[in-house]
């Protein structure tokens, strides 16, 4: 699947080819675009709709979960880049900095393709916008020390 990237540049209307050459504009532009494409390709996996980002040899994904799921458990369902379905149950309380690591489900390590990085699963807990007085009272009762 081809991915298009667009770059908008501001150049003076009166700039001439000779003037641009003098300031090294075209070389700088080529260098800038190469760097931008390299950065894009290293941080996002090919498909712009992909749920994974890359951090070295690790793949990172963020899952949105409810407050109830963060307190009572959650099962992560993912399709890997090679098309396999993963189901990863998490029975721990998922707090704001919690990260589940699945060894060997990341990108192949270039120097040893038989080994892979890790899959790192991060979580974004969605809190309810408001609670009724009754809901607050029940939560206090359940979570009381």
pLDDT digit string (tens) for 33-81?
566 555 555 444 444 445 888 888 899 999 999 999 999 999 999 888 8
Sequence-ordered list of residues with C-beta below 8 angstroms from that of 136, at least 6 positions apart, any chain = none
- Going by pLDDT thresholds of 50, 70 and 90, the confidence category of residue 27 is low
User: Cα Rg for the chain, rounded, in angstroms?
Assistant: 23
Domain boundaries, the chain: 1-43, 53-143
Q: Domain 53-143's class?
A: mainly beta
CB of 25 closer than 8 Å to CB of 83: no
DSSP letter at 107 equals P
- Give one DSSP letter per residue of 11-26, joined into a string: --TT--HHHHHHTTHH
Task: Read off the tokens for 84.
Answer: 């396999």
Rounded to two decimals, the pTM is: 0.63
pLDDT given at position 123: 94
82-132 per-position pLDDT tens digit: 888 999 999 999 998 999 999 999 988 888 888 999 999 999 999 989 999
Closest Cα partner for 76 from 33, 110, 122?
A: 122
- The Cα 145–Cα 140 span in angstroms is 9
């Amino acid at each position: 699947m081809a991915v298009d990237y667009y770059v908008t540049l501001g150049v003076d209307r009166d700039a001439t080819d000779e003037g641009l050459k003098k300031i090294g504009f075209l070389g700088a532009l080529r260098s800038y675009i190469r760097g931008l494409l390299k950065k894009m390709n290293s941080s996002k996996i090919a498909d712009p709709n992909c749920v994974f980002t890359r951090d070295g040899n690790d793949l990172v994904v963020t899952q949105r979960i409810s407050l109830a799921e963060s307190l009572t458990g959650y099962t992560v369902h993912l399709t890997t880049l090679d098309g396999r379905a993963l189901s990863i149950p998490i029975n721990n309380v998922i707090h704001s900095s919690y990260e589940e690591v699945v060894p060997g489900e990341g990108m192949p390590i270039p120097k040893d393709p038989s080994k892979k990085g890790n899959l790192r699963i991060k979580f974004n807990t969605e809190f309810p916008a408001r609670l009724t007085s009754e809901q607050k009272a029940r939560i206090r009762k359940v979570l009381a020390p």
